[in-house]
Structures are given as C-alpha cells and as structure tokens.
Amino acid sequence: MKTIGIIGGMSWESSTVYYQLMNQKIKELLGGFHSCKLILWSVDFAEVEQLQRDGNWIKLDELMVKVAHKLELAGAEIILVGTNTMHLCAPAIEAKISVPFLHIAEATAQIIQKTGFKKVALLGTKFTMEKDFYKDIIQKKYGIEILIPTKDERDIIHQIIYKELVQGKIKPESKQKYIDIIKNLHEKGAEGVILGCTEIPLLIQAEDVPIPIFDTTKIHAEKAIEWALE
C-alpha cells in the first residue's frame, strides 16, 4: 500500500470526510484491521480564503507547492488536494513534485464517462464554475458538456459554501435552494450533476435530486485508494 499525501483544511469539515471515506474503502477492499496509510497537512483556511478573495493565486500557488513538497519529503507517494477550487494550483504543484498528483476533475470525468452521459451540470465555488481550469478537463479531454447555473444562482451557491458549509452550518432553506437550482439545470438538459465543491455533499445527497449526483469528495478519495493499492 502506497502512502497518500493530502493537502487539507480547505475546509477541515471536508477533510474529515476524506479520511473517513479512504479508511472505509480500505476496509472494504482489504478487510481485517487494515487502515489507510496517509499524511494529512491541514492548512489554515483563513489564510487561503483571504488570498482567494484578493485574487492572489501566485501566492496560493506558492503555498500549495510548499505543502506538497513537505508531504513528499515526509514520505507521500501520491499527492492530492482535498478541495475542488484549489486545483487552480494543480499545474504549479505538478511541476514541482516527483510523485503522482491525482486531479479531482480527471477522477470525476472518468466516472461520468462510464455512465455514457454527454451533458452534466456543475455546482461549486464561483472559481470552479466560472474559470476554465476544471471545465476544460471534462469538456475538452473527455467530451462531456458542462452546464453551469445562471449568475444569480452561482452567487447563491458560492455564498452558501463560504458563509455556511465551510463553517459546518447545514440549513434546510439552503438545501432547498440547491435542489431548485439542480432542478433548473435538469430542465436545461443536464443528465447528472457534479457536486464540484467538497463541502456540497454535506448538504445534498442522491435522494434529494431528480438526477444522479457525482460526489467529487467520494470519487477523489476512492480513486486515491485505487492508486495506493495498485
């Protein structure tokens, strides 16, 4: 079993889910007393969130590269970032490490491709929904069309993530807003929906919406275990 290195803390709520999912998958596959070999470096999200708001992605690249390098020195044989948005820093990380990097959009696109779906919706932070770093991988490399919510809907999704979910607040009224947005995207032709923020699965489950969900946290964590056991 290879040792997985996780850059976490963005937010810590979703990092705990990664830890749980990885160990559940190891138990499912290996049984007995087996657990996942991993190193978690949890950053201070307040620092990251401020740099995001400032649009200082150069500094964020430097921070993510620094942590990835520390994980590699500590013995990580695979590295992943436990959040969708911070994959904006993926090119910088990949350029500076010598071990494999598992991209969350790649892992998600591979699962969607197996379903045969050609058009899916994407929910996440404004960075994930509006920038090309995530959508381009799925659309250009895998040929899957991405639908994003309207501007007003994107504002709602983003605000709920940062004002509620990353702080562990789960509100029924926010859940309903997400459900309504997903229904609107379904009416526009979405065959499924990517929960492209690792906190969204804290709010939305498969039984809540009329189309299949792609839980990026679960997909990413389980793909990492596959890599670790290869």
Q: What is the DSSP string of 123-172?
A: ES-HHHHHSHHHHHIIIIIH--EEE---HHHHHHHHHHHHHTGGGT---H
Identify the active-site residue in 36, 83, 85, 128. Answer: 83
Q: Tell me if residue 89 is catalytic.
A: no
First to last CA, the chain: 8
Q: Across-strand partners of 194?
A: 122, 214
- Residue 101 tokens, joined: 């990097």
The one catalytic residue among 36, 128, 197, 217: 197
Which 3 state secondary structure label does DSSP give 56?
A: coil
Distance from C-alpha of 156 to C-alpha of 52, rounded to nearest angstrom: 18
Does the annotation count 83 as an active-site position? yes
Do the beta carbons of residue 81 and residue 90 sit within 8 Å?
Answer: yes
Distance CA 208, CA 142 (A): 27
Task: For helices 45-54 and 57-74, give the axis angle rounded to 10 degrees.
Answer: 150
Count CA within 13 A, CB hemisphere, residue 24: 10
Task: State the catalytic residues.
Answer: 83, 197
